[in-house]
Structure 1
Amino acid sequence: MNSFRFRLTFIMVAMIGISVLAAGILMGKTYKENHISALEESMVREMRIILGSMDWRQGEPEELYDYFTAEAKELKVATDARVTFIRADGVVLGDSDHAPETMDNHSDRVEIVEAQKTGIGRAIRFSDTIDQNLLYVAMQLHPGEANSDIIRLALSLASIDASIKHLWSVLIIGLLILFVVSAIVSYRIALGLTRPLEQITKVAKRIKNMDYQSRVKVKNNDEIGELGSAINAMAESLQVQMTRIHQNENQLQSVLDNMINGIVMIDRTGRMLLINRRAEEVLGFSAGEMVGRHYTEAKQQYELAQIIQDGLESREHVREEITFYFPEERLLDLNLVPIMEDDNEFDGVLLVLQDVSAIRRLERMRSEFVANVSHELKTPIAAVKGFAETLLGGAVNDPEISRSFLQIIFDESERLNRLIGDILELSKIESRRVPLQFSPVELTSFVGKTVDLMKSEATRKHITLNLQAEQGLYVEADEDRLRQIIMNLLSNGINYTPEGGKVSVKVEAIQHGVPVTDEDADYDHIRISIADTGIGIPKKDLPRIFERFYRVDKARSRSSGGTGLGLSIVKHLVELHKGSIWVDSRVGAGSTFIIELPVLQ
């Protein structure tokens, strides 16, 4: 911008200088011409006066030299000009400055030729004799006659040249002063013009660099002020539009990042344009690595590349379900949808990746659940049906046999009733249709009462129940469901512990996963441990112990009246309390079930 300012100043100064110089040249030329014209007129008047007052003699040149020379010298004193008398044929008869007999014929002189034609002639030429420019004016003695004698006056132009030089000196000094003044004024004017333009340029560059909050300070209402206002209006409009675009981009990015399905956009040439977060997790590479690169460069199995190639070639919807083994084993449902522009031109494909591993696993679990339920229901029903048929076949007449069979039928119907009840209970818990009523529970008395409820069952097997609980421990929980959790675990411990064994319950406070020993210390979780000295659980069965209908010892479980759903119900109830449960067990040494619940829900 500074260079533009100096260029503008230079142009303005140059224009002023050229204008003044041209005016000076024109003025000097006009001054000189007018001055010379005035001298000519004055010399013509003087020559007419001379011709009117003197006697022009005729004769041979030798006879006339002295006369005309004396007249010429006398007239020079009066006119202050060189006087020359010339005969019509160009012979000089007398001259005030030179001997006429030594002078050349003047018939070819410019002023003489012009005077013979028009009556008066003039010429300006340099005189080698006096080393000056002279103005020569010649006039016929008898104007209009071809052979008329001629008088000529010559006047030095030294005074005119001096005047012109003085004029040029004054003009040059004035021009220099004008240059300085005009340069200062022009610079101030250029500064006034360019400074707002500098600011507008800076604001425009900042807007180019996406700083849409930058504004021009408008001080005047001239054209530059209107330009600044227009820049401000444009910046404000861009800021509004970019804000809206950023909001839309953020919303779109948020939608893409939080979609449960993976999205990959591929253009018609095979370059990946967009990969969302879920697609990164499923495919095992990041968007930063692959966006802008060809899909064949992705580290994935051949089937995926083949499906994409088929979609790009056919430009039709393609759907496949394949198993991915990298970065982990997943079953994916792939949908390849063609992308068409407004003019129905093919622009690429959109790959939608849906992880259906959990869905297929749930379907498998549902099928297994139905099969297990059918199997579990079939066993008591077959027993009831078999013993009922035996009774109907005549065994009812034997009181001993009929009583035994009826007791079996009653026991199996009770077992069937418990199974159906547990199935319904588990179904409600899994579908989150069990509303929990949370309230503060004082654990020492609550667990003590629950243990008391199980003492009669433990006494029948001569099993000792122990309770170890700190005083003043509270937890926010649903009392009924918490009692159900503890009773199920106690019942399992009693059932799988031989006679004379022991089942222990321990309640303690936990802070950051570490037991709290100080009574006044804060705690964020409660840990309930239920340990028995029973048969234990093999290590291979521990990961599946909380599955529905899973039994370690199927024969013993059925003989004890278990349905195989108790631990699954316990796990779901603990999770509804936002807690966790796990088991530590060794075969022959017993099992310990550990529950951790948050103090506050």
Structure 2
Amino acid sequence: MNSFRMRLTLILIGMIGLAVLAAGLFMGKTYRDNHLEALQDNMVREMNIILDQMQWRTGEPADLYAYYTGKAKRLKDITDTRLTFIRGDGVVLGDSDHDPQTMDNHSKRQEVVEAKKDGIGRTTRYSDTLKQNLLYVAMAVDPAHPESSDIIRMALSLEKVDESVKRIWLALIVGLLILFIAAALISYRIAFGLTQPLEQITRVAKRIKSLDYRARVQVKRTDEIGELGLAINAMADSLHVQMTRIHQNERQLASVLDNMISGVVMINAEGNIVLLNRRAEEVLGFSAHELVGHRYTVAKQQSELAHIIQEAFERKEHLREEMTFYYPEERLLDLNLVPIFEDDNSFGGVLLILEDVTAIRRLERMRSEFVANVSHELKTPITAVKGFAETLLGGAVDDPELSRSFLQIIFDESDRLNRLIGDILELSKIESRRVPLQFSPVELSSFVQKTVELMRAEALQKQIRLSAKVEPDIYVEADEDRLRQIVMNLLSNGINYTPEGGSVSIVVEPVGGENYESVRIHITDTGIGIPKKDLPRIFERFYRVDKARSRSSGGTGLGLSIVKHLVELHKGTITVDSLVGSGSTFTIELPVLQ
């Protein structure tokens, strides 16, 4: 901007200098012309005075030469000009500076010609006689008849005129120089006044270009530059609002993309990946840094994916496919490839949506298995009831002992069927979270003692020792009925799978000392134990380790699944440790406050 200021200053100085120079030349020429005109007018007046005071003679040339030459010399001393007397035919009768007899005929001289025509003639030319530039003014002696009149002529050396003009020029140059300096200072001031706000506007524009939308012009003027500053500020305000909105939209879009449960990959028309969200990184096993800007074939581990993307590019239509990925882990993915078309209907690439359906398919499989298991579990007692009822109807009812035995079996199977249906309905309500829990403080010492007493009769039937160890004044916030259902289910399992003479114990302890935040409940039995391979699945519905024994004990296969769901509704966890032949320990950890 400083260079612009200098250029503007120089332009202004140049323009002013040219204007001043032109004015000076015009003034100099005008002064010289006016000065010459004034001299000519003065010479005319002097010649009129001379003619008025002088007697014009005629006669012999010899006498006339002496007379007029003497007059011319005397008049020169008075007027300080060269005088010449010319006869009507152009013969020079007398001259103040030269011998008239040696001078040429002057009838053709311009000033003489003009004087014979108009009465007065004027000209400026070089004098061959005096060898210098002279100003000539000629006047007819008889103005009434100038064409035949004698002529009186005055000549003034231009050296005096030039000296006077030089003095004027010197004064004019000094004045013009002073004016030029003043103009230069004024020009710089004007340029500075123009460029300083422009410099500020330029700095603000550069800051806006560098994405600093808070930059503003300090407007102190009301002219066009002030209006420009206001326009820049208004533009910056608008840009700031627009960019804030754009950044907000970008953040929202990035947040949406990063938190989507589906992977999103955008591929442009050239086959380069331009967008990859966090879920897509997890599914594909590559970071966005590794893939964005590269062709989709970079993910070489997913060759099948590359083939289907290629197919989408070729067909340019929506494709859907399920595909199993084995890297970075085994997943079943639902792929949706949607072609992208620009506003001008040109092909812009492909949008790939990756959805992990492994859990969905597993749930579908579990649902199918659940339906099959329920059908099987329901079919067994129904078949038994139907078979024994048909036997009774076939005549076995006449045998009192046999009919009593069959009716007992029918009763047991009906009871089992009732428990099974009840457990299925209970599990369904718990899984759908349609079981409202009524939380209240529960004192665990009395709670455990009461629960153990409820299970003691069942334990005594198998001569199993049932013991409890609970520190006093341990409280937990829970639904007391559901918590009792959890403990009784685990105690019942322990009793059922522990041989006669064994033991089942329950131990409750706080976690974290006096200011405990959770409690831990251990239920341990000395039963047959659970094989290691079955431990991950024991909380599944209808999963039984020993199917024959489970059925003989009247179990439905849903107890542990109900327990797990109820513990999770209490925001707790349940784990199991077991060794075949040595027993099992179920550990429940519940938070003190819900």
Same fold by TM-score, threshold 0.5 exceeded?
yes
Match of 1:555 among 540, 548, 553: 548
Whole-angstrom CA distance in 1 between matches of 2:329 and 2:166 = 103
Whole-angstrom CA distance in 2 between matches of 1:556 and 1:408 = 17
Match of 1:533 among 526, 529, 534: 526
Whole-angstrom CA distance in 1 between matches of 2:480 and 2:563 = 14
Whole-angstrom CA distance in 2 between matches of 1:393 and 1:174 = 148
Q: Paired residue for 2:169? A: 168
- Kindly indicate whether the alpha-carbon contact (under 8 Å) linking 2:523 and 2:587 is maintained by their aligned counterparts in 1: yes
Structure 1 residues 441-480: aligned runs within 5 Å: 441-480=442-481
Cα–Cα, structure 1 residues 584 and 156, in superposed 2: closer, same or farther, change >3 Å?
same
- 1:346 Cα deviation from its structure 2 partner: 4.3
Cα–Cα, structure 1 residues 441 and 171, in superposed 2: closer, same or farther, change >3 Å?
farther
- 1:98 Cα deviation from its structure 2 partner: 4.3
Whole-angstrom CA distance in 1 between matches of 2:273 and 2:245 = 26
Cα–Cα, structure 1 residues 235 and 180, in superposed 2: closer, same or farther, change >3 Å?
same
- Kindly indicate whether the alpha-carbon contact (under 8 Å) linking 2:57 and 2:64 is maintained by their aligned counterparts in 1: no
Alignment partner of 1:481: what SS? helix
Cα–Cα, structure 1 residues 188 and 587, in superposed 2: closer, same or farther, change >3 Å?
same
Cα–Cα, structure 1 residues 467 and 164, in superposed 2: closer, same or farther, change >3 Å?
farther
Q: Paired residue for 1:420? A: 421
- 1:397 Cα deviation from its structure 2 partner: 4.1
- 1:474 Cα deviation from its structure 2 partner: 1.9
Structure 1 residues 39-54: aligned runs within 5 Å: 39-51=39-51, 53-54=54-55
**2:404 is the counterpart of 1:411:** no
Q: Paired residue for 1:513? A: none
Decide which moves more: 584-593 or 187-196: 187-196
Alignment partner of 2:423: what SS? helix
Q: Paired residue for 1:264? A: 265
Whole-angstrom CA distance in 2 between matches of 1:352 and 1:95 = 121
Deviation track 1:81-133 (CA, whole Å, cap 9, x = no partner) reads 12344567877654433455676776776656665776644443567998865
Cα–Cα, structure 1 residues 252 and 118, in superposed 2: closer, same or farther, change >3 Å?
same
Cα–Cα, structure 1 residues 441 and 118, in superposed 2: closer, same or farther, change >3 Å?
same
Whole-angstrom CA distance in 2 between matches of 1:504 and 1:45 = 154
Query: What percentage of residue pairs aligned between the two structures are identical?
Result: 73
Cα–Cα, structure 1 residues 207 and 46, in superposed 2: closer, same or farther, change >3 Å?
same
Whole-angstrom CA distance in 1 between matches of 2:454 and 2:531 = 30
**2:558 is the counterpart of 1:565:** yes
Unaligned runs of 5+ in 2: none
Q: Paired residue for 2:575? A: 582
Whole-angstrom CA distance in 2 between matches of 1:538 and 1:211 = 68
Whole-angstrom CA distance in 1 between matches of 2:91 and 2:469 = 162
Structure 1 residues 172-211: aligned runs within 5 Å: 172-211=173-212
- Kindly indicate whether the alpha-carbon contact (under 8 Å) linking 2:61 and 2:93 is maintained by their aligned counterparts in 1: no
- 1:77 Cα deviation from its structure 2 partner: 0.9
Deviation track 1:449-500 (CA, whole Å, cap 9, x = no partner) reads 2222222222332322332323322222111111111111112222222233
Unaligned runs of 5+ in 1: 511-515
- 1:365 Cα deviation from its structure 2 partner: 0.6
**2:3 is the counterpart of 1:10:** no
**2:539 is the counterpart of 1:546:** yes
Q: TM-score, with normalisation over the residues of structure 2?
A: 0.88
Pairwise CA RMSD of aligned residues?
A: 3.2
Whole-angstrom CA distance in 1 between matches of 2:378 and 2:117 = 153
- 1:366 Cα deviation from its structure 2 partner: 1.0
- 1:221 Cα deviation from its structure 2 partner: 3.9
Decide which moves more: 361-370 or 277-286: 277-286
Q: TM-score, with normalisation over the residues of structure 1?
A: 0.87
Whole-angstrom CA distance in 2 between matches of 1:86 and 1:300 = 126
Deviation track 1:16-62 (CA, whole Å, cap 9, x = no partner) reads 3333332222222111111111211222333344455144455557x
Deviation track 1:349-373 (CA, whole Å, cap 9, x = no partner) reads 4333322222211111111112222
Cα–Cα, structure 1 residues 115 and 258, in superposed 2: closer, same or farther, change >3 Å?
same
Cα–Cα, structure 1 residues 375 and 7, in superposed 2: closer, same or farther, change >3 Å?
same
Q: Paired residue for 2:370? A: 369
- 1:579 Cα deviation from its structure 2 partner: 1.4
Structure 1 residues 138-537: aligned runs within 5 Å: 138-139=138-139, 150-299=151-300, 301-341=302-342, 344-510=345-511, 516=512, 518-519=513-514, 522-537=515-530
Q: Paired residue for 1:75? A: 75
Alignment partner of 1:454: what SS? helix
Decide which moves more: 222-231 or 526-535: 222-231
Whole-angstrom CA distance in 2 between matches of 1:163 and 1:404 = 160
The number of aligned residues is 592
Cα–Cα, structure 1 residues 154 and 416, in superposed 2: closer, same or farther, change >3 Å?
same
Whole-angstrom CA distance in 2 between matches of 1:34 and 1:325 = 109
Whole-angstrom CA distance in 2 between matches of 1:64 and 1:310 = 130
Decide which moves more: 426-435 or 211-220: 211-220
- Kindly indicate whether the alpha-carbon contact (under 8 Å) linking 2:122 and 2:138 is maintained by their aligned counterparts in 1: yes
Decide which moves more: 358-367 or 49-58: 49-58
Whole-angstrom CA distance in 1 between matches of 2:548 and 2:131 = 151
- Kindly indicate whether the alpha-carbon contact (under 8 Å) linking 2:24 and 2:176 is maintained by their aligned counterparts in 1: no
Q: Paired residue for 1:23? A: 23
- 1:290 Cα deviation from its structure 2 partner: 3.5
Decide which moves more: 119-128 or 261-270: 119-128
Cα–Cα, structure 1 residues 378 and 586, in superposed 2: closer, same or farther, change >3 Å?
same
Decide which moves more: 6-15 or 453-462: 6-15
Whole-angstrom CA distance in 1 between matches of 2:99 and 2:29 = 36
- Kindly indicate whether the alpha-carbon contact (under 8 Å) linking 2:82 and 2:95 is maintained by their aligned counterparts in 1: yes
- Kindly indicate whether the alpha-carbon contact (under 8 Å) linking 2:444 and 2:475 is maintained by their aligned counterparts in 1: yes
Alignment partner of 2:504: what SS? strand
Deviation track 1:409-455 (CA, whole Å, cap 9, x = no partner) reads 33222222222221111111111111111122222222222222222
- 1:344 Cα deviation from its structure 2 partner: 4.9
Decide which moves more: 547-556 or 256-265: 256-265
